[in-house]
A and B are shown apart, each in its own frame.
Chain A
Amino acid sequence: MKIVRIHNELLGTYGDRGNGDVLAYRASLAGINASVIDITYRDAIPHDGDIYLLGGAEDAAQILSCNALSGGALHGAVEKGAVVLAICAGFQILGKSYFAHGQEQRGLGLLNMVTVPGPDRYVGDIKIHSELLGIDLTGFENHGGKTILGAGTESFGRVKVGSGNGDGGVDGAISGNIFGTYLHGPILARNPEFADLLLSRAHGAPVKVSDPLADRYAALRREVVK
């Protein structure tokens, strides 16, 4: 299993690199041979990845990364069914447009949504309920953007604590195997069930990992974020 961590030097401001580490670790516990490949801004994006990861970033880095991804390799991988997990700035660039440096920027158009500047910066612990997983997920959000989902675009979860896409209603977006969210933490460290869902999608068969320490940590976060 090839896990492609895209532009961590640009999209690594909020610790989201850990999502790749958690996926590779849980894959190894499940007996799946997986490796994380770090792709820098200067590298070509591989077409044959099973999971692509994008993280949070500052404005200038977000623009650079989005421009480097506009070549179409990620679009091609998505068409072939690759799994994408995109956090915060990485999530925003998957939409039709986003704001950086106070200006509207063209996004990758993989998700039917737009992101505009919010009235305030949203900073703090966040808890959402995922219908897909049937559980609450916790994380930390830190963003100035407000994301508006287009008609037919499904959200990732319903916000119970925090702001999510900006109005406290829903967080993130899902389309096929693309998952976008504002949850840092990293999200897969705090929500191992979600890591297993992504591994299952990429593996083509259910993956259920047993790691008591991960479960205890996830339960603790769900207990304290309220």
Chain B
Amino acid sequence: MKSPRLSLAITIAQATGALSKALGRGSGETLPGRVLLALCPNAIELLSQSRVVILVSGTNGKTSTTKELVSQVRTVGTVVTSASGSNLTRGVAGALMQDSVFAVLEVDELHLPAVVAATNPALVLLLNLTRDQLHRMHEVKRVASRWHEMCVSADPSTLFVADVDDPFVNYAITGAASAVRVSFGGATGGRHPDGAVCPSCGRYLDWNEGRYHCECGLSNEYADHRFDGGSAGYRNFVLASVAADLVGVHNSLSNIALRTDYRGMERATEKNFAGVKARIRLTKNPASWTEALAGVTGSNVILVLNAREVDGIDTSWIWDVSYASLAGKKVVVTGERGADLAYRLHVEGVESTLVETFDQAIAIFGLGSVEVLAAYTAFFGLVNR
């Protein structure tokens, strides 16, 4: 039973959200959660008590993996989930306002320890940790260390499911009382892009075809589940299926082999702009740019780079991505930091056209189709147009 105080707080929060939406002041998704937490600071704790909470976190793939997990868990019970990409505490609070059996929530990497402490989750799915928003995260190891402490202090009943091909994630769960280790036979590309040092002991980490084995014992050679390697979308789909199996979804493991198309696991959308058919894909850090560039099949490409807070305000990382696969394609660059990207491409021998606005970029392609790789704020700007 909810206390009268909590029930009233929820009523007020929902009304504020509806009002904000009606007044056209945003989509009304994060405001109710914010209001709820202001009226009842321990709302997340109270609203988690009577349901099965499942959390999803990682640098890349949080939103699509959460969506996949929601669709699987929905076959066995009612589910509430976070609004797309709304993964800070206010988003979590907003999602929990409705009753359900399950809550499947994506959570920002740095907010995860606090949300684990507040929700006492049944299961936490840890996808990956790579460089992202370094002005905020500072270092990948710093995030991994916080996750490690979180695993140590979590309730022993909380089950952590983790991709151990990522040494940072693997290190984090060495602190957990219960963990399910998943391996895809090694990290994609032969090594983790930021994994030269063992996060557990600081020794140099030698990689051999995606596998590592540190003297201190940290290794991806031991796993509870083993799968073949594949794209990031495939890996996240498999991880969601393993998590779904553990919370009682029937056939989720046997269904893995039935699926062959993982495009739905990409953070992408299709839209028309002035007669040009655009497939827009979210790209936000070296790992996701590399993944997205590998998926470019056509010869018309628009790249959009911004550097606002959630994009990461430092663009230096664009030099850690190879754009060589774009050579010979018609490449147009735009965004608030388009100049940074155009010069980076230029040095790699990929010439591009730099324009001020996305509409100017679209106009260059006449009536054809184009693949758009857009940084975080640029992606949502285009999706919401």
Contacts and interface: CB of A to CB of B under 8 A. Distances in A.
Interface of A: 9-10, 12-18, 21-22, 25, 41-42, 58-61, 63-64, 101, 121, 123-125, 140, 142, 184-186, 189, 213-214, 216-217, 220
Interface string B134-165: 11001111000000000000000000000000
* Interface pairs A-B: 4 shortest CB-CB: A15-B316, A18-B319, A60-B202, A9-B196
B316 A16 contact: yes
A213 B320 contact: no
A60 B200 CA distance: 10
A17 to B, nearest CB: 6
A13 B141 CA distance: 11
Interface residues of B, number: 31
B180 interface: no
Given A13-B139, A142-B138, A21 B320 contact: no
A18 B346 CA distance: 12
Contacts of A25: 347
8 contacts: A9-B196, A14-B314, A14-B317, A42-B204, A63-B202, A140-B316, A214-B343, A217-B339
B340 interface: yes
Contact of A142 (B134, B203, B315, B342): B134
Given A18-B344, A184-B314, A213-B342, A58 B197 contact: yes
Contact of A14 (B204, B316, B348): B316
A202 B111 CA distance: 48
Contacts of A58: 139-141, 197
Nearest to B316: A15
Interface string B225-247: 00000000000000000000000
Contacts of B206: 42
B131 interface: yes
Contacts of A217: 339-340, 342-343
Interface in B156-206: 194, 196-198, 202-204, 206
B344 A64 contact: no
Interface string B114-133: 00000000000000000100
A124 B141 contact: no
B46 interface: no
A13 B134 contact: yes
Nearest to A7: B196
A9 B320 CA distance: 11
Interface in B300-340: 313-320, 339-340
A127 to B, nearest CB: 14
Main secondary structure of the interface of A (DSSP, over half): mixed
Given A15-B320, A58-B197, A63-B202, A142 B314 contact: yes
B314 A189 contact: no
Give the interface centre of A13, A125, A140 by most chain B CB atoms within 10 Å. A13
Give the interface centre of B131, B197, B316, B317 by most chain A CB atoms within 10 Å. B316
A60 B317 contact: no
B319 A21 contact: yes
Give the interface centre of B135, B138, B319, B347 by most chain A CB atoms within 10 Å. B319
A69 to B, nearest CB: 14
B140 to A, nearest CB: 7
B282 to A, nearest CB: 20
Given A13-B134, A142-B138, A186 B316 contact: yes
A10 B205 CA distance: 10
Contacts of B204: 10, 41-42, 64
Given A18-B347, A61-B196, 15 more contacts: A14-B314, A15-B319, A17-B320, A18-B319, A18-B344, A21-B319, A64-B197, A64-B204, A124-B135, A140-B315, A142-B135, A142-B314, A186-B316, A189-B347, A213-B346
Contacts of A9: 196
A198 B134 CA distance: 28
B197 A22 contact: no
A100 to B, nearest CB: 10
A41 B140 CA distance: 20
A60 B320 contact: no
Contacts of A13: 131, 134, 139, 194
A29 to B, nearest CB: 10
Nearest to A24: B347
A198 B131 CA distance: 29
A163 B376 CA distance: 28
A12 B344 CA distance: 16
A142 B138 CA distance: 8
A66 B197 CA distance: 14
B344 to A, nearest CB: 7
